[in-house]
Amino acid sequence: KQEVTQIPAALSVPEGENLVLNCSFTDSAIYNLQWFRQDPGKGLTSLLLIQSSQREQTSGRLNASLDKSSGRSTLYIAASQPGDSATYLCAVGSDYTGANSKLTFGKGITLSVRP
Amino acid sequence: GAGVSQSPSNKVTEKGKDVELRCDPISGHTALYWYRQRLGQGLEFLIYFQGNSAPDKSGLPSDRFSAERTGESVSTLTIQRTQQEDSAVYLCASSLGVYRGETQYFGPGTRLLVL
């Protein structure tokens, strides 16, 4: 059974800092990994999707990397801003026969960026 | 275009009552997913639809939970004889297809509180 872990559960940093959010998963037989952002009272917003054949994806100040063999992904946020404050969720699409995009989520990291 | 919408946004009910949650996916999206997010927990997969068939119901926690989908549009998640442990945010997502690697787009969720 796939398990996804995100540590720490919460993180507080000053504005402008570069930071790395970590995600680990137990079963390396994945076909993709997604990073989502969740704001209070709102749904999830997909930030980056990395296919299993890829090593990283970039969007603006965000860069996500994937190392399948070690079961790890990182989300790098450059020059953090108060507007980046949210919960960041890592989700793994696992290689279930006949199934598609059943995602297994971590519990998320709640990020607070202080002005 | 319009995103995934869910109704109601909040629902308070008494233990033992039945509730029905609704999801309107993005137009043209053939795949639809239901997840549950309990307080302090990660998102749990419940069920997904390809068109109006549900190939994977493995995440439904008990036989009190059921879901239907009309064609490739609206889906309803029904919880019968609600229990306090059913209190959670129920999230719906849709994707263009069931091919691996499709991004899932999430709705804002329905917050269910069972008293």
Q: Is the pLDDT of residue B2 over 90?
A: no
B95 touches chain A (CB under 8 A): yes
Q: What are phi and psi of A24, to 5 degrees?
A: -130, 150
| Cβ neighbours for B32, distance < 8 A, ≥ 6 positions apart | B23, B25, B48, B49, B69, B75, B92, B93, B94
pLDDT at B56: 74
Whether the per-residue pLDDT at B98 is higher than 70: the answer is no
Question: Quick one: average pLDDT of A100-109?
Answer: 82
Pick the residue with more confidence: A27 or B112? Answer: B112
Q: Does A101 contact B33 at a Cβ distance shorter than 8 Å?
A: yes
* Tokens read off for B96: 């263009």
Q: Around Cβ A28, how many Cβ atoms within 10 Å?
A: 16
Cα separation of A63 and A78, whole Å? 8
Q: Residue A108 is nearest to which of B42, B101, B107, comparing CB atoms?
A: B42
Compute the nearest-CA separation of B23 from chain A (Å): 13
User: Based on C-alpha coordinates, what's the Rg of chain B?
Assistant: 13
Asked if the model's pLDDT at residue A98 lies above 60, the reply is: no
Strands (E), B1-109: 5-7, 10-13, 19-24, 31-37, 43-50, 53-56, 65-69, 75-79, 88-95, 105-106
pLDDT digits (tens, 9 = 90+) for B9-57: 999 999 999 999 999 999 989 889 999 999 888 889 898 888 888 777 7
Q: What percent of chain B has pLDDT over 70?
A: 96
Phi, psi of B75, deg, nearest 5? -125, 145
Report the pLDDT value the prediction gives residue B42, as an integer from 0 to 100. 83
What is the reported pLDDT for A99? 47
Least Cα separation, residue B82 to chain A (angstroms): 23
Per residue in A25-45, pLDDT (tens digit) is 998 888 889 999 999 877 889
Phi, psi values for residue A30, rounded to 5°: -110, 160
Which residues of chain A neighbour B100 with C-beta distances below 8 Å? Answer: 31-32, 93, 100-101
Which residues, listed in sequence order, are joined to residue B12 by a DSSP beta bridge? B113
C-alpha B67/C-alpha A60 separation (Å) is 38
Confirm if B3 and B28 have CB atoms less than 8 A apart: no
Tokens of A9: 């559960």
A5-19, B4-18, B37-51, B68-82: the lowest-pLDDT one: B37-51
Answer yes or no: is pLDDT of A60 > 60.
yes
- C-beta atoms of B48 and A108 within 8 A: no
> What's the distance, CA A5 to chain centroid?
10
Cβ contact B87:B112 at 8 Å? yes
**Greater pLDDT, A94 or A110:** A110
Do A107 and B41 make contact, defined as CB atoms within 8 angstroms?
A: yes
CA distance A56 to A62: 10
